[in-house]
């Protein structure tokens, strides 16, 4: 019998280590013949802590497990052989289909939540490192590049540039030294795709780097990962050590002249270092700021040598493509966007987590079928895609198919795969302000339009959310947005206005309500809120008055109360505690 405990960051934060310890101690105490293993994120972050039990007849996935539940699982299921149906979220005793998984097609996530990410043996049992063996034994570098081109794989870091074409440019560059870089500097708020892959299946990324190195003629690779990912970095270091010990990294690999080594560079968390040239500067020990292109990294990259840069998700696809054939990959997706895409579902959604779907899946399918719909059954309003560089797509466009071209038409971008779901209580002006605050803070300051333009835009948005907006603000906001977009050097500045432009495009009436009516339709912007007590509903229970932190509510017992608007700080305590729907939020 085997038990897996999900110990990705999501599982650990939900209490996974305590559950693992409880299982470990009970198995040892009762001297049970049970193999207890760590695994990565299974995707169902909404049900963590997850414990999967394999008993020979099938698997049983227990959700929201606590240490006490873990002991019960040992005694009732492991020892007595009686599964506990009320705790099982997926497996043999669950009869209905699970839409969270039914619509997925896991290529990048093929091993996440299944293998022990700290065991190279587990990875190799699932054809691990057979891809690099195959290409070094049976294919020339040019043939490998052709295979990646035929698969239709496009860069999953956000730009969507054809991966095989990128490799070909680096292959054709003439130099005695070349580099492969894995961009693991995932910095979008609400995004955790790359982190989960590195924590759950680090060897797939290493193997992808090896194949890329063989294809372009590189003998050295760097993984640029932000230091905020300690678990991912720990497992990457272990995976690299295991490969070196087995002769999978080093000199004369697989009986050929192919040499390849990998090292990790930890970044300090600057969002701009996700841009290729800024990332390269950071590895070199310089300040992480972008430079003018051309020359492109394929010709002049790390230490002025030809360099190929792919993100984590892109590289995690490579070994699967080699082993299953480019045609198998190209059979998935749409005409111009092949394969699958990993998304991190977050926000006002019932089932937050990690999902991988074929390109061409609609937004509504992800939100309602996979994500289970909106929390509290509120009204679906929009999705924010692509992080601070992306944009907001309204619910009215929920049937749009997710691929690079269709998403770009909306004014948003695919990005690396963050998808934040918004409901009717979300103010779209405030969302634009939030993301612009992020990009303004993260601007490296090199470009005048990015440095100052985003600051001026942010000032306008802050003024509007405070109820101090004025006629002409929206025209000025749009004008500044286009200037920043057209005049910035790198992708951060060029895409920073996207959240503003898309919310103006699809939710302009919300901006106008803030400016003309001094009201926030979503009742979200604190400065524009008004709370009042409805006399006919108020029973005079005094609870609101007792909870008000500034004594702005007066009244006698069993008589309607009144809010002093001049004293009210709009904290919402009265609204939250009232049991009689007597407090109205306007």
List the Cα angle 50/51/54 in 5-degree steps: 140
By DSSP bridging, strand 353-358 and strand 88-91 are: unpaired
My answer on whether 473 and 504 are in the same domain is yes
pLDDT per position as a tens digit, 424-458: 999 999 999 999 999 999 999 999 999 999 999 99
Is residue 106 situated within a structural domain?
A: no
Is residue 111 situated within a structural domain?
A: no
Is residue 271 situated within a structural domain?
A: yes
My answer on whether 417 and 450 are in the same domain is no
pLDDT of 461 reads: 97
Instruction: Give the span between the Cα atoms of 584 and 586, in whole angstroms.
Output: 6
My answer on whether 362 and 504 are in the same domain is no
Q: Which domain holds residue 366?
A: 340-423
- Residue 59 sits in a domain whose CATH number is 3.40.30.10
Taking 80 as the threshold, does the pLDDT of residue 125 lie above it?
yes
Taking 90 as the threshold, does the pLDDT of residue 472 lie above it?
yes
Taking 90 as the threshold, does the pLDDT of residue 372 lie above it?
yes
Give the containing element (helix H, strand E) for 37: strand 35-39
What three-state secondary structure class fits 219?
Answer: coil
Show Cβ contacts of residue 406 under 8 Å, excluding neighbours closer than 6 positions: 334, 400
Instruction: Give the span between the Cα atoms of 6 and 89, in whole angstroms.
Output: 14
List the Cα angle 496/499/501 in 5-degree steps: 95
Is residue 442 situated within a structural domain?
A: yes
pLDDT per position as a tens digit, 393-412: 999 999 999 999 999 999 99
My answer on whether 507 and 567 are in the same domain is no
Give the containing element (helix H, strand E) for 20: helix 16-29
Q: Is the alpha carbon torsion for 433, 344, 162, 337 positive or negative?
A: negative
> Domain boundary at 403, 423, 443, which?
423
CB 547 within 8 A of CB 577: yes
- Residue 481 sits in a domain whose CATH number is 1.20.1440.230
- Residue 572 sits in a domain whose CATH number is 3.30.70.20
- Residue 175 sits in a domain whose CATH number is 3.40.50.11540
Instruction: Give the span between the Cα atoms of 500 and 401, in whole angstroms.
Output: 23
My answer on whether 172 and 291 are in the same domain is yes
pLDDT of 94 reads: 62
Is residue 487 situated within a structural domain?
A: yes
Taking 70 as the threshold, does the pLDDT of residue 149 lie above it?
yes
Is residue 72 situated within a structural domain?
A: yes
154 pairs with which residues across the strands?
162
Query: Which residue in 116, 111, 106 sits closest to 235, CA to CA?
Result: 116
pLDDT of 99 reads: 80
pLDDT of 91 reads: 81
> Domain boundary at 275, 303, 330, which?
330
pLDDT per position as a tens digit, 76-105: 999 999 999 999 998 866 656 778 888 899
pTM of the model: 0.93
My answer on whether 45 and 146 are in the same domain is no
By DSSP bridging, strand 2-6 and strand 51-54 are: antiparallel
Give the mean pLDDT of the chain.
95
My answer on whether 540 and 509 are in the same domain is no
> Domain boundary at 282, 302, 330, which?
330
pLDDT of 286 reads: 95
My answer on whether 250 and 390 are in the same domain is no
- Residue 380 sits in a domain whose CATH number is 3.10.20.600
CB 58 within 8 A of CB 103: no
- Angle between helix axes 454-465 and 428-442 (nearest 10 degrees) is 150
Is residue 46 situated within a structural domain?
A: yes
pLDDT of 93 reads: 64
My answer on whether 91 and 185 are in the same domain is no
Instruction: Give the span between the Cα atoms of 258 and 235, in whole angstroms.
Output: 25
For residue 80, the tally of other CB atoms under 10 A from its CB is: 9
The count of domains in the chain is 5
My answer on whether 170 and 300 are in the same domain is yes
My answer on whether 37 and 156 are in the same domain is no
The mean pLDDT of 184-208, rounded to a whole number, is 94
Is residue 172 situated within a structural domain?
A: yes
My answer on whether 317 and 351 are in the same domain is no
**Residue 354 phi, psi dihedral angles, 5° rounding:** -115, 130
Taking 70 as the threshold, does the pLDDT of residue 332 lie above it?
yes
Say how far residue 412 (Cα) sits from the centre of its chain.
16
Percentage of residues of the chain with pLDDT beyond 90 = 91
């Amino acid at each position: 019998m085997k038990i897996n405990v999900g110990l990705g960051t999501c599982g650990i934060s939900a209490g996974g280590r305590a559950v693992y310890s409880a299982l470990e101690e009970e198995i040892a105490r009762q001297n049970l013949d049970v193999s207890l293993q760590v695994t990565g994120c299974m995707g169902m972050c909404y049900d963590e802590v997850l414990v999967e039990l394999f008993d020979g007849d099938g698997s049983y996935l227990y959700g929201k497990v606590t240490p006490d539940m873990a002991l019960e699982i040992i005694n009732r299921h492991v020892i007595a052989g009686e599964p506990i149906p009320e705790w099982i979220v997926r497996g043999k005793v669950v009869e209905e289909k699970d839409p969270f998984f039914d619509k997925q097609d896991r290529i990048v996530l093929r091993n996440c939540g299944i293998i022990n990410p700290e065991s190279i043996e587990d990875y190799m049992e699932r054809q691990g490192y057979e891809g690099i063996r195959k290409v070094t034994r049976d294919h020339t570098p040019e043939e490998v590049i052709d295979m990646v081109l035929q698969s239709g794989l496009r860069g999953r870091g956000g730009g969507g540039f054809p991966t095989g074409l990128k490799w070909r440019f680096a292959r054709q560059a003439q130099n005695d030294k070349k580099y492969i870089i894995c961009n693991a500097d995932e910095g979008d708020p609400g995004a955790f795709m790359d982190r989960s892959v590195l924590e759950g299946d680090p060897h797939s990324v290493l193997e992808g780097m090896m194949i890329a190195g063989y294809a372009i003629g590189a003998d050295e690779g760097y993984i640029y990962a932000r230091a905020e990912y300690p678990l991912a970095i720990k497992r990457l270091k272990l995976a690299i050590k295991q490969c070196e010990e087995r002769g999978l990294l080093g000199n004369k690999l697989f009986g050929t002249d192919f040499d390849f080594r990998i090292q990790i560079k930890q970044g300090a968390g600057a969002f701009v270092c996700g841009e290729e040239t800024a990332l390269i500067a950071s590895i070199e020990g310089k300040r992480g700021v972008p430079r003018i292109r051309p020359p492109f990294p394929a010709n002049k990259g790390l230490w002025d040598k030809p360099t190929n840069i792919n993100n984590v998700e892109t590289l995690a696809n490579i070994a699967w493509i080699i082993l299953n054939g480019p045609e198998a990959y190209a059979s998935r997706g749409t005409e111009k966007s092949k394969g699958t895409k990993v998304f991190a579902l977050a926000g006002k959604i019932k089932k937050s987590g990690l999902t991988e779907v074929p390109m061409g899946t609609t937004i509504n399918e992800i939100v309602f079928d996979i994500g289970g719909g909106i929390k509290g059954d509120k009204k679906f309003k929009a999705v924010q895609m692509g992080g601070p560089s992306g944009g907001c797509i309204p619910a009215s466009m929920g049937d749009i198919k997710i691929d690079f071209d269709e998403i770009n038409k909306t004014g948003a971008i695919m990005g690396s795969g963050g998808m934040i779901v918004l409901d009717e209580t979300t103010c779209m002006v405030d969302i634009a302000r939030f993301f612009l605050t992020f990009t303004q803070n993260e601007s490296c300051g090199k470009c005048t339009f990015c440095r100052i333009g985003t600051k001026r835009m942010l000032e306008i948005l802050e003024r509007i959310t405070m109820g101090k907006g004025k006629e002409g603000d929206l025209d000025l906001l749009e004008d500044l947005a286009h200037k920043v977009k057209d005049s910035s050097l790198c992708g951060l500045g060029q895409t920073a206005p996207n959240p503003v432009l898309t919310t103006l495009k699809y939710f302009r009436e919300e901006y106008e309500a803030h400016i003309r009516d001094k009201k926030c339709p979503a009742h979200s912007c604190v400065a524009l809120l008004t709370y009042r007590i409805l006399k006919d509903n108020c029973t005079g229970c005094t609870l609101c008055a007792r909870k008000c932190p500034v004594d702005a509510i007066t009244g006698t017992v069993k008589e309607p109360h009144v809010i002093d608007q001049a004293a009210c700080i709009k904290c919402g305590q009265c609204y939250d505690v009232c049991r009689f729907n007597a407090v109205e939020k306007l």
